[in-house]
Amino acid sequence: MSTLIGQIRASIPFDAPEARICSGSCQGCSMKLLDFLASALEDCERGLNAGVKPTLKDLSRLIRMARKVHDVLRKNGLVDAVDPTSPTAAEIRVPGSR
């Protein structure tokens, strides 16, 4: 779970300036989605620190959530689409993303 959280944090621009996040038209509110995902990641980290063992359902839910947020951010131009065939794609993409 901690590896998954690290991969998500590396592929989602949580530290992007607000002016970049809220520029132009949107397919969904990127700011709210980033806040939502950051909160979910913090909840997962608190659980891990408290000794809670994540289930497969927990992992699947987090992957699905991160993938959906990543897709909206890509549509809004905040993240680049990753070519899954590139040699570095496995290092920078959200697990399970296409």
Is the residue at 98 inside a domain? no
Is the residue at 97 inside a domain? no
Is the residue at 23 inside a domain? yes
Is the residue at 41 inside a domain? yes
Q: How far from chain centre, in Å, is Cα 58?
A: 15
Is the residue at 63 inside a domain? yes
Number of domains in the chain: 1
Is the residue at 15 inside a domain? yes
Q: Which domain holds residue 76?
A: 2-92
Is the residue at 43 inside a domain? yes
Residues 54-95 have pLDDT tens digits of 999 999 999 999 999 999 888 888 887 664 434 454 554 555
Residues 13-68 have pLDDT tens digits of 888 887 777 777 777 888 899 999 999 999 999 999 999 999 999 999 999 999 99
User: In Å, what is the CA distance from 42 to each residue of 5, 80, 86, 95?
Assistant: 9, 25, 30, 18
